Amino acid sequence: MKILKKTIIIIFLVSQSFVTFAHDNDKDSTKVKSQFTELNFSQNLDSLLRLWYVQQSLQTNDSGFVVSEFNDSIIPDFADSVYIKRLSELPVFINLSFNKVVRNYINLYTHKKRDLVEVMLGLSQYYFPVFEQILDANDLPVELKYLPVIESALNPRAISRVGATGMWQFMYYTGKSYKLEINSIVDERRDPIKSSYAAANYLKDLYRIYDDWVLAIAAYNCGAGNVNKAIRRSGGKRDYWDIYYRLPRETRGYVPAFIAATYVMNYYQEHNLSPRKIDLPIVTDTIMVSEPLHLRQVAEVLQIPVQMLRDLNPQYRRDIIPAYNKSYSLKLPVQYTTQFIDFQDSIFAYKDSVFFDPNSVHKAPPKYKKYHPKAPSGNYTKLYYRVQTGDNLGFISSWYHVRTSDVRYWNRIRRNFIRAGQRLVVYVPKNKAKYYKKINSMSFAQKQKSVGKKVPTSPKTTTKQKNSGNYVYYTIKYGDNLWDIAKKYPGVSNTDIMKLNNISNARKIAPGQKIKIKPKQ
């Protein structure tokens, strides 16, 4: 309950910060209080607070996460010249401009969102070394490590309103194009390491297009198409600030937010900010798993909180490592690595029938020879009916007062197809079995009469249909089909007409065509 109250206070104050963010006389800041920061921080704040390691930090920290009334005397503010000097002294390759827009974002981080920034400073001790190593290996500016700060607040489970996922906020198709595995069980956009490699390749591709890191960062947010459009509409200008108002509104705040995050992550001490202690293991080890494994198997055998395993391995959406045909990684606190190796046989065998039902992948319908239909209840008995020419399932089910679907089920019939001479199983009430046994010996007319249906008489011969011995010749009219024609003659089915006239496809009949029909006597 204590944590819930703290969260409510934070959310309220964060929402208030967007109202009071812009200075009254600053038109640019009014526009830049924009969707960007609101979306990235407000949407990710709740999920960030729900992460197990952040909750542990809040529970063990006496100061908690409560935002009190700020005393301006302990939250310093500086002149523009100080910010300009500090930005110019950072050992970075990317051009970090300073203006009113950037200043407003710095104020946002250092005044309104101090506690969130302190949480991210604590998380940075865990994630930044990972980003730095991958960026350096790809010969990219190391300061790009600050992009996940504004993309996701360093939350590996962050999901934007349009579906961008993970710390680097990859959309589905972009993630797939950079070889991230995304399916119902695994989503490597959430994997801090693999998504960082994908982000590095994506950023390299964008830099090849623009030869300018600021434009590449803008394109990372809104796509190269939008940046190219802004360049064309600006008469070919290729400076971010020259095309600023041609960019989507969210992207106008994206680059200034990146510059401000770079500043704050380097000069947080000057603003009396301190990293929040996060109970996430700084030292971890990675084990490659080549058999299917559930995180609860590891957690329960090694006595590790399953929430910790989920936070260390956020790419597994259902707690399942689906190592059927290839190996997957499992990240553990380093002190548990040797225990996993020592007890791995026990871990894989632990409740394996609960977490992985070996029979589920072998379930199939019973073989035909082993299939034995069952009576609806003990009050029913089994009878057999011999199919006659002209019968169909609708007729048979009505004669026995059962459902057509039951006749199909009892006899494994597909698409209502039956043939003359076939023996069908039918279940009827025991007390009426004597009556239903007579149906086999009845004529078609008698069977129809037993259910109150009249048998249509044979149509009179006309110029279009003539008798010839035992056959009737019928001239097909426009709109006729074999099913409707067969219903005009007692005991005749469309199959009978097709056999008698050597018709292989019932749809290939034409008006004017004469067919031969043999009505039942």
In this prediction, residue 11 carries a pLDDT of 32
**Integer Cα distance of 118 and 149 in angstroms:** 12
Least confident window among 179-193, 313-327, 370-384, 412-426? 370-384
| pTM over the 0.75 mark | no
Query: CATH number for the 368-450 domain, one of 3.10.350.10, 1.10.287.90, 3.40.50.2000, 1.20.120.330?
Result: 3.10.350.10
Q: Is the four-CA dihedral 135, 139, 141, 147 of positive or negative sign?
A: negative
**Integer Cα distance of 433 and 379 in angstroms:** 11
**Integer Cα distance of 233 and 242 in angstroms:** 11
Least confident window among 18-22, 77-81, 167-171, 266-270? 18-22
Give the tens place of pLDDT for each residue, 265-316. 999 999 999 998 887 777 889 999 999 999 999 999 999 999 889 989 999 9
Query: CATH number for the 465-517 domain, one of 3.10.350.10, 2.30.110.10, 3.40.640.10, 3.40.109.10?
Result: 3.10.350.10
Is CATH 3.40.50.880 correct for 2-271?
A: no
Q: What is the mean pLDDT of residues 219-224?
A: 93
Q: Go through the chain and tell me how many residues it has.
A: 521
In this prediction, residue 40 carries a pLDDT of 52
Determine which one of 151, 188, 250, 291 is catalytic.
151
In this prediction, residue 505 carries a pLDDT of 78
Contact 428, 380 (CB under 8 A): yes
Two tokens, residue 455 = 């048998």
Two tokens, residue 207 = 């830099």
Contact 296, 141 (CB under 8 A): no
> Which run of H or E residues covers position 495?
helix 494-500
Q: Per-residue pLDDT for 183 more than 90?
A: yes
Q: Per-residue pLDDT for 466 more than 70?
A: no
Q: Per-residue pLDDT for 128 more than 80?
A: yes
Contact 181, 325 (CB under 8 A): no
In this prediction, residue 511 carries a pLDDT of 74
CA 404 to chain CA centroid, Å, is 39
74 vs 246 pLDDT, higher one: 246
Q: Which 3 state secondary structure label does DSSP give 461?
A: coil
Residue limits of CATH 1.10.530.10 in the chain: 2-271
Phi-psi region of 401 (alpha: psi -120 to 50; beta: other; left: phi over 0): left
Contact 168, 152 (CB under 8 A): yes
Q: What is the mean pLDDT of residues 463-476?
A: 65
- Spell out the alpha helix ranges (H) of 156-223: 172-177, 192-210, 213-222
What are phi and psi for residue 467, nearest 5 degrees? Answer: -85, 140
Supply the DSSP string of 122-133, one letter for each residue: HHHHHHHHHHHH
Q: Per-residue pLDDT for 513 more than 90?
A: no
Residue 118 is a catalytic residue: no
Residue limits of CATH 3.10.350.10 in the chain: 368-450, 465-517
Q: Per-residue pLDDT for 12 more than 60?
A: no
